[in-house]
Amino acid sequence: MPPVFAVPSPDACPVHAVASGTFESWLSGQPQRVQAWVSAHGFSGACGQALTVPGADGTIEMALAGYGCAAQRARRRFVLAEAAQNLPAGTYRIASGLPAEDAATESLGWLLTAYRFDRYKAAEAAGAALTAPDGIDANAIESLAAAECLTRDLINTPASDMGPAELQAAAEGLAQDFGAEVSTIPGADLLKQNFPLIHTVGRASDRAPRLIDLRWGRSGPRLTLVGKGVCFDTGGLNLKPGNSMALMKKDMGGAANVLGLARMIMAAGLDLQLRVLIPAVENSVSGPAFRPGDVLTSRKGLTVEVNNTDAEGRLVLADALALAAEEAPELLISMATLTGAARVAVGPDLSPFYTDHDGDAAALAAGAGRTADPVWRLPFHAPYEPMIEPGIADLDNAPAGGFAGSITAALFLRRFAGDCRYMHFDIYGWTPGAAPGRPKGGTGQGARALFAALPDLLEL
């Protein structure tokens, strides 16, 4: 179940968020027994510190959470989540010290400490539960947490239980929860309805490829989200080495993120027309696998020379983007675990994005800052266009040389977005090492920032 705030109770333990710069003044105002206890345990207000203080009867009277200094907080995404992980199980309430402008973000981080992926093992005991602080929209924060948990669960599920059909079922379940509609084009029907690239990439698997199409909302501007749904990527005939293949259950992270974003939008009841397109495939190895050197014709009519079958994500996205562009939405967004080059450029924590519109980039950066969902703009650098233009076809799916791999992939996708106002996210979708509020495993990237920016992006 998604984490929610605890029911308010007079028995909830008060938590005092204590910054290192105000620690001495806070401590001097406490009773002597509290001063002695806190000093004896070395609490100083540093980020991540947590301390329970007993009352005269030995039960917990209060809890302290280190809030650090500005420099320490700049190195963390969720400050209170670090302390929450170190508190004993129970129900807590924020009593003092948490700045009002930080309350929503820190509450979200606390909720996300409760996330567990326990599908394949016994559930862990509940940890420290938080009642909603005053002044926040508790329902909105719970909705963000639920969307993040949906995304994490989808990515964390191994490919044995998360193939194209299961991804379709997840979209259908989400649609049922919010009154949306889902249609699907499976298998050979992809060829009949002119989605040749999606079919080609997925045809080597015995789990049929498909295009999942979710629609919600009947008024307002049109927003279309396209998410890469490669449920497992062997690399195809350009087979990945074992170490590179180990995490490829997460190659549908783009699909998981757009479904998480769709959940936020529908739960909030935003006045817009939402469409979510997910090309869902497995890139497998068998007799029908597509080959290096093949030239493929896309839905848009552009031909693509395949120079690496491991650059399949941009192929399936191309057909989905072409379909999306035919409807000319006000905003078209793609999200994909697309290139290793993006990880080299910005690491696993930042979500690189592309847009031709400075105003959209500014709105997104502001949204990222409000939701602890960091993003970084990379350029649609037009002088690199010749790099994706081979001599034998219109486009090259894997330019030689290795330079600017994320940018050339983004330029490739832009060719299929037509004249739409287009944004592309080249995400990682995985937390490689546990952090407060973000356990090791699948993660949302860019979705909260986009959700926060949508009122500005679409003038809602």
Q: What is the number of other CB atoms lying within 10 angstroms of the CB of residue 211?
A: 26
CB 84 within 8 Å of CB 130 = yes
* Whole-Å CA distances, 59 to 13, 33, 54, 273, 451: 10, 14, 5, 53, 42
Q: Rounded to an integer, what distance in angstroms lies between the CA atom of residue 91 and that of residue 12?
A: 5
Structure tokens at 149: 């948990």
| Rg of the chain (C-alpha set) | 24
Provide the Cα torsion 335, 337, 338, 344; round to 10°.
120
As a whole number of angstroms, the distance between CA 241 and CA 236 comes to 11
- 29 token code pair: 């105002």
Give dist(CA 209, CA 121) in Å, integer.
30
Amino acid occupying residue 314: R
377 pairs with which residues across the strands? 353
Q: Is the dihedral of CA 261, 267, 273, 279 positive or negative?
A: positive
Cα dihedral: 213, 239, 340, 311 (round 10):
-50
- Residue showing tokens 């690189």: 352
Q: Is 90 helix (H, G, I), strand (E, B) or coil?
A: strand
- Which residues are 93's β-sheet partners? 14
Cβ atoms of 233 and 279 closer than 8 Å: no
Q: Following DSSP, what letter does each residue of 260-325 receive, concatenated?
A: HHHHHHHHHT-SSEEEEEEEEEEE--STT---TT-EEE-TTS-EEE-S-TT--HHHHHHHHHHHHH
Residue 126, amino acid: A
Show which residues are catalytic: 240, 314
- Provide the residue type at 176 as one letter: Q
Taking the C-alpha atoms of residue 311 and residue 308, their distance in angstroms, rounded to an integer, is 6
What is the CB neighbour count within 10 angstroms for residue 31? 9
Exposure b/e, 118-137, CB count within 10 A at least 16 = b: eeeeeeeeebbbbbbbeebe
| DSSP 3-state of 396 | strand
